[in-house]
Amino acid sequence: MWKQFLRFFLIIVLTSAFIVYFASKEVRKNYLRNLECTLENYARLIEKFVSTSVAANDQPQIESITKKLANELGIRCTIIAKDGTVLGDSEEDPAKMEDHSNRPEVIAALQSGVGSCVRHSDTLKKEMLYIAVPIVYQDRIIGIIRTSSFIENVQRSLSAITKNIIGTTLFITFLALVLSIITTQAYTKPIRDIAKAANRIREGDFKTRLYMKRRDELGVLAESLNEMARELEDYFLSLKEEQEGLKTILSSMVEALVVLNKDGEIVTVNQNFVDIMNESPDDIIGKRYWEYIRESDFAELIEHVVKTKKFMTKEIKLTDKIYLTSCSIVKDIPETRIIIVMHEITELKRLEEVKTDFVANVAHELKTPLTAIKGFAETLEDEASENNRRFIKIIRTNTDRLINIVSDLLVISNLEHKKENIEVKEFDLEKLIENSLTIEHKKLEEKNIDVTFDFECSIPQFKGDPFLIEQMMINLLDNAIIYTEKNGEIHIEASEEENTLIIVIKDTGIGIPTEHLPRIFERFYVVDKSRSRQFGGTGLGLSIVKHIVLSHNGEIRVESTVGEGTTFIITLPLL
C-alpha cells in the first residue's frame, strides 16, 4: 500500500509544483501585459494634455502637467523631445537628466508607434517597466511620452497572487493525498486478500474462498480465483482417487514394476520390485538403476529400447531367479519414461528344462531301438514271402517316420539348450543358399519346379551359425516343395535394410488358410496331414526354423493366400 501511496504522492507533488510554476509564470506574463496596456493608455491620455505645451516648448507648463497627471495616476511620466532632451519628469529635475535618444523604448516608439522595455533605471536605481508613445501635433511627431512603473510593485502583487496559488495548490494536494490513501486502501486491501488466498491455494488449501461484493475487475478476479479453487479441488480429488487406484493396481501386481526417466533414475516402483531389491522404497527412488541391478543383460535391454524406441522382452537372471523382463518407452507424457515389468519365470524355466530334458532323453533312447527295428525289418524283408513284404514295408515306412521325428526332436532339444550360445562364424550367404538348392535339386526336378534367386550384391559376409542357417533354408525349401504343385515356382531373395538381413522365400503352392497361420510354428502342427504323411513330414520343420531364427535374435513371419502361394519373411540382424 505504501509503495502505491508513494507513487501517488510523487505524482501529486510533481503535478502541483508544475502547476505553481507555470501558473506563476503565466500570471506574471498576464500582469505585465495588462500593466503595459495601462501605461500605454495613460501615455496616450497625457499626450492630449501636453501636446500643445510641447509644440510651444512651454517647459514650466510641461512639468506642471506631467507631475500633476503622474501623481494622480500613480505612475512616473517623462516628456522627451524628439532629439532625446528630457522636457519634463514627474520624479526628477529634467535639467539633470541625460539624453534619452538612445533608450530602447524611445527608439521603438519613433519606429513603430509604441515602445516597451523592462530594465534598470540609471536615475532611480531600480528596475522598471517603460512604455513610450510619440507625441503627435498637426500630423507630425514632436516628442515622446514615456510612462513607467516600478517592477517591485509588480513583484509585490505577484507575490501575493503566488501565495494564494501555492496555498490553494497545497490544499488541493492535501485533499488529493487523502483521496489517494483512501483509493489505495480500497484497491490494495482486496489485492492483499486475493494474494493471501492465492498463496493458500498454492499451499494446497483448495477450500479457500473470497467473498467480495465488488463488480469491478477485482471482483471478477476474485470470482475467477474462487472458480479456479473449486476446479482444482475437484481435479486433485479425482487425481488422488486415480493415484490410490494406481497404487492398488501396482501393489496387487504379481510382476515387479520399475519406471525410469530418460537419465536412468528410478521414479516409480511397486512392492514386488522393492522385495527383489531388499531395500526400502525411499532408498530406491531417485537413484540410478545400475546402482541396484548390475546385470549387463538388463542394461543392454534398456539401451536397445531407448535406441530403437521399440518394445522388447528378454530373460534376465538376477541372483538365483530368472525374470521375463519387458521394457518399453513412453513419450506421450510430459517426460519420457522407460517402463520395465519383471515376471518371475524361475519355476517355468525349471519345468521347461525338465520337459526339454525329458524329450531329449526319450528321443535319444528311442533312436537306438528304432534303428534296430528298421534293421531287423530290412533283414526280414529279404527272406519274407511276397505277401509278408507288404506288411514289412509298412513297418519300415513308419519306422523311418519315427526316426525322422526323433531326429527333429533332438535338433529342437539341442537348439533349446544352445539358446544364444550358437557358433558364430563369418560365411558367404549366397553360397550357402546355393548349397541348399543343390541338396533339394532332386526333389525340385521331380516336380519340375522353377527356382529364381535374387541376391543383393551389397550384402556383406554374414555372421552366424552356418550349419543352422543352412538347415533353416533346407527346411523352408522342403516345405515349399511339398506344398507346391508340379510346374510351380519358388522365388528366393536376400537384401539388406537398416543393418538387417531380409530373406524371402515365396512359392506358388496351395497356400495356408488364414485360421492356421498363427499356429504353423507349433510342434507337430500340420495343416494338410495327408500331404504331410505322403511326403514323410514330421510337423517339426517350421518349429525348427523358428528356433533357428530366434537363436540368431531374428524374426520370422508368414503371408499366405489360399490357391496363390505362401511367403516366408526372415529378418536377421547383421552382427
Task: Write out pLDDT tens, residues 374-400.
Answer: 776 777 777 776 677 777 777 777 776
Contact yes or no for 179/210 (Cβ under 8 A)? no
C-alpha cell at position 492: 528366393
Per the listing, cell 519355476 goes with 347
Three-state DSSP at 76 gives strand
Mean per-residue pLDDT, 145-152: 82
Where are the CATH 1.10.287.130 domain residues in the chain? 349-418
* Over residues 96-109, mean pLDDT: 86
Quick one: what percent of the chain has pLDDT higher than 90? 2
- CATH 1.10.287.130 matches 349-418: yes
Name the CATH superfamily housing domain 253-344: PAS domain (3.30.450.20)
Q: How far apart are CA 470 and CA 440, in angstroms?
A: 12
| pLDDT range class, residue 65, cuts 50, 70, 90 | confident
Instruction: Answer with the residue of higher pLDDT: 351 or 536.
Output: 351
- pLDDT over 50 at 535, yes or no: no
The length of the chain is 575
Percent residues over pLDDT 70 in the chain: 83
Residue 506 has pLDDT above 70, yes or no: yes
Residue range 2-157 in CATH 3.90.1170.50? no
| Cα angle 237, 241, 243; round to 5 | 115
Query: Which residues make up the CATH 3.30.450.20 domain(s) of the chain?
Result: 2-157, 253-344
Question: With 70 as the cut, is the pLDDT of residue 529 above it?
Answer: no
Identify the pLDDT of residue 445: 87
Yes or no: say if 259 and 250 are a contact pair by the CB < 8 Å rule. Answer: no
How high is the pLDDT of residue 132?
92
pTM of whole model > 0.85?
no
pLDDT, mean of residues 546-574: 86
Task: Please list the residue range(s) of the chain that carry CATH number 3.30.565.10.
Answer: 425-573
pLDDT at 248 over 80: no
Q: Which residues of 129-164 are buried (b: 16+ CB within 10 A; e: fewer)?
A: bbbbbbbebeeeeebbbbbbbbbeebeeebeeebee
Among 24-33, 434-443, 466-475, the minimum mean pLDDT is found in 24-33
Average pLDDT over residues 252-280: 83
Beta bridge partners of 36: none
How high is the pLDDT of residue 133? 92
Q: Inform me whether the pLDDT recorded for 135 exceeds 80.
A: yes
Higher local confidence (pLDDT), 570 or 378: 570
Average pLDDT value over all residues in the chain: 79
pLDDT confidence of residue 361: 66
pLDDT tens string 390-444: 777 777 777 767 766 666 666 666 666 655 556 778 888 888 888 888 888 888 8
| Alpha-carbon dihedral angle through residues 282, 283, 285, 289, given to the nearest 10 degrees | -160
Give the per-residue pLDDT at 414.
67
Mean pLDDT computed over 164-171: 75
pLDDT (0 to 100) of residue 232: 81
Tens of pLDDT, residue by residue over 284-307, are 888 888 888 888 888 888 888 888
Rounded mean pLDDT of 479-498? 86
Q: How sure is the predictor about 91, in pLDDT bands with cuts at 50, 70 and 90?
A: confident
**Cα(13)–Cα(9) distance, rounded to whole angstroms?**
6
Q: What is the tens place of the pLDDT at every residue in 176-232?
A: 777 777 776 777 777 777 788 888 877 778 777 877 777 777 777 788 878 888 888
The DSSP 8-state label assigned to residue 391 in this structure reads H
Tell me how far apart the alpha carbons of residues 271 and 266 are, in angstroms, rounded to a whole number: 14
Fold held by 425-573: Heat Shock Protein 90 (3.30.565)
d(CA 281, CA 273): 9
What cell numbers appear for 264 in the block? 536412468
